[in-house]
Amino acid sequence: MGRQSRWRRVRRMGAVLGAGLVVAYAVTLAGFELAEPSVVFDSIPENPFVSPMPPGFLWGTATSAHQVEGGNTLNDWARFEVVPGNIRGGRASGVASDHWNRVAEDVDLLSVLGANAYRFSIEWSRVEPREDEWDGAAWDHYREEVALLREAGVTPMVTLLHFTLPGWLADRGGLTAADFADRFERYAREAARRLGSEVSLWCTVNEPNVQMYQGYVEGVWPPGFRDTEQASIAFAGLVRGHARASMAIKDVNPQARVGAAVNLIVFDPQRRWWLPDWIAAREADRGFNWAFYDSVKRGAITFHLAGFPEIDEPMPALEGSADFFGVNYYRRNMVRFSPKAPGLVELLQGPGPLSDSGVEIYPEGLLRLVRRVWDRYGLPIIVTENGVSDSSGDLRPDFLRSHGYAVSRALEEGIPIEGYFHWSLLDNFEWSEGFGPRFGLYQVDYETLERIPGPGAGEFHRLAQLVGRQ
């Protein structure tokens, strides 16, 4: 009898505990679900700008030096891309899109598109080919480019570091060199001096999260390491470099507005009922999306990611080093908790339509991410890159419209977005993917280097008129 009732009590306790666990699981799951309202765009209006665009809204395109200029032989990528196996298709950047020699023609294209802004980068290895030696002619080239843009009524936005490092700096460790931030600050100060008050929008670094990940975790970009310790040091170098460059630019030109462009990815759980997938998605989001600007906000280089050495290094110069948040948005990934995957996180493509590169086209993600940026940092936002790999060009008109709609919806909610830069003005060298992916509003015939307007060009122009007319 006694034994039976004890057994019954144990069973009752087990049932209560089990029910408690089920409730706790359900409540935690509901907490994740409710943390962010879901967004679905049912249909995109012909005029995606649902309310007046703010005066002065930047409607532009973006490129980067090494991808379009051609003839860049003195940086780390020039060395990397001639190693067999490093570039899909085996073709190095070479003359790329010949932007260096066709810059006037390309500025005309911006006018034809109705763009009022252009984001481009300075190739550090051109202006400082050897340590401590400025190349005056190379600086003049960029000064002329800025002058051409100004004459065309196009606001320049200049990026200082878009992935490529001078060979002399790469030789002693690049991002992990002890004096990386010193060298970068010196270069930034010189750029601000040479381009003067003609440039008031600056991006210090482009996608520090991607550069670190591809170069030091995946090892598929220079320097080709798979080393989490070096990865943390490289990341810290980029954060430190940003702060120092920002200070230098503002010393020279107090009116300048400075930020960094970060690649943001929507990480959604693959199985919404499975808590480990949610937790893995959160971890990916925290480590990839926010580590850079969290450091800026905290005034301390901060890096806490499972499997990586931790960094917590106060740097007061970080505070106030960013006047805006540059968002580069391309994709959503579904996340699966997987004990076998590196970092326990397995990334899968989302369920929507795919680009040529197999990346989901997910415009709602842009709205979701800018909401989070605004919530987290309260900084004005510039969409510094957004685009689609699409060799036919047929996806691009809808892509432009739907992402323009995301921007407009965000503005309606009171999120201060100051500009949108489409990647890219023209087809170009897509890093380790070579010349395969085509992102251009203008298609480039790589035999003749002729620029041919793709279907997106007309739509970009139509939207430019709508931006301007509001």
Is 319 in the active site?
no
Instruction: Decide if 368 contacts 35 (C-beta within 8 A).
Output: no
Q: Which is nearer to ligand FCB, 209 or 270 (CB)?
A: 209
Q: Does 333 bind ligand FCB (CB under 6 A)?
A: no
Q: Which is nearer to ligand FCB, 53 or 261 (CB)?
A: 261
Q: Which is nearer to ligand FCB, 277 or 430 (CB)?
A: 430
Q: Does 49 bind ligand FCB (CB under 6 A)?
A: no
Instruction: Decide if 48 contacts 367 (C-beta within 8 A).
Output: no
Q: Which residues of 134-152 are buried (b: 16+ CB within 10 A; e: fewer)?
A: eeeebbebbeebbebbeee
3-state SS, 60-91, equals EEECCHHHHCCCCCCEHHHHHCCCCCCCCCCC
Q: Which of residues 436-455 bind ligand FCB (CB under 6 A)?
A: 439
Q: Does 213 bind ligand FCB (CB under 6 A)?
A: no
| Rounded least distance, CB 423 to ligand FCB, Å | 5
**Per-residue contact flags (x/-) with ligand FCB for residues 11 to 40, judged by CB under 6 A:** ------------------------------
Is 385 in the active site?
yes
Q: Does 385 bind ligand FCB (CB under 6 A)?
A: yes
Q: Are strands 155-161 and 201-206 parallel, antiparallel or unpaired?
A: parallel
- Verify cis geometry, omega within 30 degrees of 0, for the bond prior to 424: yes
* Chosen residue from 184, 405, 420, 423 binding ligand FCB by CB under 6 A: 423
Instruction: Decide if 335 contacts 277 (C-beta within 8 A).
Output: yes
User: How far is the C-alpha of 186 from the C-alpha of 91, rounded, in Å?
Assistant: 33
Stretch that binds ligand FCB, among 108-116, 140-148, 423-431, 455-463 (CB under 6 A): 423-431
Q: Does 122 bind ligand FCB (CB under 6 A)?
A: no
Among residues 207, 346, 360, 459, which one is catalytic? 207
Q: Are strands 324-337 and 345-349 parallel, antiparallel or unpaired?
A: antiparallel
User: How far is the C-alpha of 408 from the C-alpha of 49, rounded, in Å?
Assistant: 5
Expressed in percent and rounded to 5, the helix, strand and coil fractions of the chain are: 45, 20, 35
Q: Which is nearer to ligand FCB, 60 or 269 (CB)?
A: 60
| Rounded least distance, CB 251 to ligand FCB, Å | 27
Residues with catalytic roles: 207, 385
- Residues in contact with ligand FCB by CB under 6 A are 64, 67, 206-207, 210, 263, 328, 385, 423, 430-431, 439
